[in-house]
Structure 1
Amino acid sequence: MRIISGKYAKRNLFTLKSNKTRPTSDKVKESLFNSLGQFFNGGNVLDLYAGSGALGIEAISRGYDHASLVDINHAACSIIKKNVA
C-alpha cells in the first residue's frame, strides 16, 4: 500500500497483518479523490474505520488541512501512528 499522489506520493505505508481490515485499493482512492477533489481547496477529513490511515494520509498529501483518523482496533491505531510518523 502506498500514497498515490501529492506531497507524499510513492511513500509506502504499513498495514495490519490480519483479516480484520481491508485496505482501500489505489484504484478506489484515485477515483474518490478525482471525483471529490475538484470541490475542495483545503478542508478537514474524517476517516472512520481508518485501518492503516491511508485515506486520511492521502487527503493530507493532496492538500487537505487536517485529517482525523479513527479506529477502535488498538493494532490499527498503532499502525496509523507508525504511518503518520
Structure 2
Amino acid sequence: MWSLAARNDAVPLGGKVAGLGGYKWDVETWHGLPYNAGYVQTVPSDEAFGAHRMAVDTSGHSGYWKEDSTSLQNQAAVVTGRYNQVVDP
C-alpha cells in the first residue's frame, strides 16, 4: 500500500475522528521520533500503519495533482509500477 499526506491535509485526521483507521499495538512516530506507545489508531499516512509513504511537496487535499509536483510524480511512479522512482519523505 502506498500513501501520501500533506501536512495540512485534514482528511487523514478526519478518518481517525470518524473511527475509520485501524488499531494496533505499536509505537507512533513522527518523522522517526517516538511520541506514543500502546494501542494506537492508525490511518495509511501514519508511520505506524506500515504503508509505503511518499514525499509530498504540495498542500491541502486537492494539491496532490499539481502539475510538475513531486506529489504527482510519485503517484505516476506507483500507478505505472516504477516503485524505484518514488521519492521517500
Tell me whether the two structures share a fold, i.e. TM-score over 0.5.
no
Give TM-score, length-normalised by structure 1: 0.30
**Quick check: which has more Rg, 1 or 2?**
2
Give TM-score, length-normalised by structure 2: 0.29
Return the structure number with greater helix share: 1
Q: Which has the higher contact order (CA 8 A, sep 6+)?
A: 1
